[in-house]
Chain A
Amino acid sequence: MAHVTFIHGISNKPPAADLLRIWREALANAADPLPLGDLGVTSDLVYWADLFYEKPDTNLSAYEGVLENTPEAVDASGGATPPQPRSDEEAEFLEGLRRRLTVMTDGEIAAAPDAVPPSPQGALERIPLPWFLKKPIMNVFLRDVHHYLFDVDFAPPGRTRVPIRQTIRERFVAALRSPQVSRPHIVISHSMGTVIAYDCLKRVAECPGVDGLITLGSPLGLDEVQDKLRPEWTRDDGFPHERVAGGWTNIFDRLDPVCGFDPVFANDYRRAGAAAVEDVAVQNEGTWRHSITKYLRQPAVCRAIRKMLGVSGAA
């Protein structure tokens, strides 16, 4: 037996059970199919969208569809408002992160909702999506990363505020301790979920160890994020060897705006000064390259998972 713990990324999501099914289905429908259940591999999902959103998104099809015409389909649902910094440090962090996504001001974005501006461009400018979709992507990304890294007390309307990082850390640790877990046990993380997985595996003493880590479409390459993972993170000792016994494979699409322009980790997360992360570039189809289902269908992703779990290919 083997076990996979998934952790999702930014924006609102379908209910946990549906989201887990969608992730499993994406692997099972990959070009090089990896049906975890048929292979006897159990899986579970660390779900944290409920900490940010009043209720889950029940329009499941938007998360599996081929069209990129709704906020749900481009990881931009839930109507996040831009986070308000509480200190100069937070303001600087948010401004730095925002610059990674766009060089345009709010005024310019509002004035040119559909135009793709001339260079120089930020990561978002490169995507041929209208700004009515790109702006919520930016808002939700800035908010989720900020609230986690600065452990902001937050709750959707009508609920009691909770410290975001502490609560998500508790959920992650609980999932890794679940009696369902068997070895080898790997974590597959996406987007903001990669920051959470890394934070827990590197910095949370009570977090159990795993046998491998896979990061997909991760913003962990951004300086602004790395700065907030100190002091445990350093460039020469960034690999989470404390709790990751096996390898770390990082898979990215160069046109995925969440990775910004820093998708490669081997240099930033070394182990005793030597490169230890395996960086793999893929090309997702379509306009929105950050989509988790697109990543999960990539043969390179299935190969990396197979290798870590020690399961063979299709019959």
Chain B
Amino acid sequence: MSSEQRVDELRARAQEALSTLRGMCQDEDVIGAKALVEALRNERDYELMGQLAEAVSRSDPKDAKNRRLYAQYLIDTGKATAAIDVLQPLARRLPKDQPEYAEATGLRGRAYKQIFFDAGDKTTPGAREALKAAIAAYRGPYERDPRSTWHGVNLVALLTRARALGMRTAPGLDPQAIAAQVVDTLQKTPESERDEWFLPTLAEASLGLRDWEVIDLNIQQYVAARDAKAFQIASTLRQFTQVWDLENRDERGRALVDMLRARLLRLKNGIERARSVASIRHAVEGRRIGTGFLVEARDFGVQPDDQMLVLTNFHVVNGHGASQGLKPEDAQVVFEAVDPGRTYAVSEIVWSSPVDRYDASLLQLGEPATGIAPLPIAATLPVLEDTACVYIIGHPGGRDLAFSFQDNELLDHEGPPAGQPQIPGVCRVHYRAPTEGGSSGSPVFNSRLWQVIALHHKGGKIGMSKLNGKSGTYAANEGIAIQSIVAAVKAGRG
């Protein structure tokens, strides 16, 4: 199920719960609805979350967690003062040693923080009062329990901002010392107890240390984490821009913010695209030989045009097992991001072209790959601008599916307007990317639209001759432009 389908299903369940709660409902209906409120929060569907939290509150007005989530909905939909009105009585009635007390108090801090950041002029008395109140709200739970790193990290951020504004709030508190304490607490947390907020909190607390090496390291770890959620990245992004004002600090700060933005984008698109990327394995040994990806026959002018095909390199699969490739009967295709246990046989090679030409084979599968979308094909190669870059998804070194995101500069290509193809009809693309043997046959994507621009076919740790008549060599990878492969297939050219 795609993430979009999951969200649609969640919304449908929430709507169903809403109508159940409006009628005669059982205790378990309310319990189920409470879980949905939190799930909707994680998907940032605040409107529906608010409606459901309101319905739950009517059935179980004393549920502290639901009231707190209701307040979060209010904050995230621009009603921070109403959130404070919900949170104040909630905190008053909760015993101070209950975790929900700390959560409710911290969220009150978040509401005041929002009021501060919504103020156009941060120097007005109203804005300063809100900042003061936010600091006080985070301070209490943190001082009661320094292990409460969420409160601690907010305290660091807001104190730093208050000091930058020349405010003398909480003069006894030193944000740098608190940051060190938070980092220390986090680092002492045993791996088994680290929750999903561990990395984002560590990354943000590092900002308070002002040690850029540590900051860079922690943030890179955070953005590289496989299980980071869009909700978390968006929250960190908001904190870094609105609270720390990182973009306006300097180039380094801006680069960190860019990393988070890019990660958000990748989370949305890259994960979807990865589902259509397969490992090509040796059918008997199970060894991963290379990579391939699902395409629609229509895009290549192959009949029947609604069938799905797999594109890979000639040197991964070809009719005679030449160039160290597998014969079709020896190969199997596995879409590992969808179902690592499901293997597809190769029934036929629809078209292929040798290594010194397009280095490509279009494979027909033994049975249709259902529920997997074909990858979109770019109509054109990207413009060669200094910021142009590419992404690759494949199985480097025959290992698990991996994304290649870093340092993926698009170096050159033989496409229009200035390209001069050396092999007639074949348009090569050069880019920097950490690829290895098993990456052969990987899709190379343009960086914003996530459309396939090329079929990766060789990497160059050693010198790769430059394109377009330029002299010399460089470290580069080479792919074959997808549109030149499309043209060759349509023309029946090998």
> Which residues does A use to contact B, with CB under 8 Å?
1, 17, 21, 24-25, 28-29, 33, 35-43, 60-62, 64-70, 73, 114, 128-130, 180, 182, 287, 312, 314-315
Contacts and interface: CB of A to CB of B under 8 A. Distances in A.
A62 B451 contact: no
B383 A65 contact: no
Contacts of A114: 121
Interface in B359-399: 376, 378-383, 385-388
Given A1-B417, A21-B387, A36-B383, A67 B245 contact: yes
Contact of A315 (B376, B380, B383, B447): B376
B448 A70 contact: no
A3 B451 CA distance: 21
A19 to B, nearest CB: 13
Contact of B383 (A17, A29, A40, A312): A40
A130 B121 contact: yes
Given A33-B448, A315-B451, A61 B382 contact: no
Given A29-B261, A39-B380, A129 B448 contact: no
Nearest to B121: A130
B241 interface: yes
B247 A66 contact: yes
Interface stretch (B58-66, B177-185, B250-258): B250-258
A24 B448 CA distance: 12
B417 A24 contact: no
Contact of A38 (B122, B242, B251, B449): B449
Contact of B122 (A28, A65, A69, A70): A69
B449 A37 contact: no
B289 to A, nearest CB: 28
A66 B241 contact: yes
A76 B159 CA distance: 30
B276 to A, nearest CB: 12
Interface residues of B, number: 33
A11 to B, nearest CB: 17
A61 B378 contact: no
A61 B385 contact: no
A38 B445 CA distance: 9
Given A38-B446, A128-B121, 11 more contacts: A29-B261, A33-B449, A36-B383, A38-B448, A38-B451, A40-B416, A42-B383, A61-B254, A66-B241, A66-B247, A312-B379
Given A1-B417, A38-B378, A28 B448 contact: yes
5 contacts: A24-B387, A36-B383, A37-B446, A312-B379, A315-B376
Smallest CB-CB A-B distances: 5 pairs: A40-B380, A35-B448, A315-B376, A38-B446, A65-B247
Contacts of B449: 33, 35, 38-39, 314-315
B112 interface: no
Contact of A61 (B122, B248, B450): B248
Contacts of B245: 65, 67
Given A61-B247, A66-B241, A182-B417, A40 B382 contact: yes
Given A1-B417, A315-B376, A68 B120 contact: yes
B242 A66 contact: yes
B320 interface: no
A116 B134 CA distance: 28
A21 B382 CA distance: 15
A170 B251 CA distance: 34
B430 to A, nearest CB: 16
A38 B452 CA distance: 11
Contacts of B387: 21, 24-25, 37
A130 to B, nearest CB: 6
A113 to B, nearest CB: 11
A36 B383 CA distance: 8
Contacts of A43: 383
B249 interface: yes
A129 B247 CA distance: 20
A68 B120 CA distance: 8
Contacts of A24: 385, 387
A24 B389 CA distance: 14
A295 B120 CA distance: 19
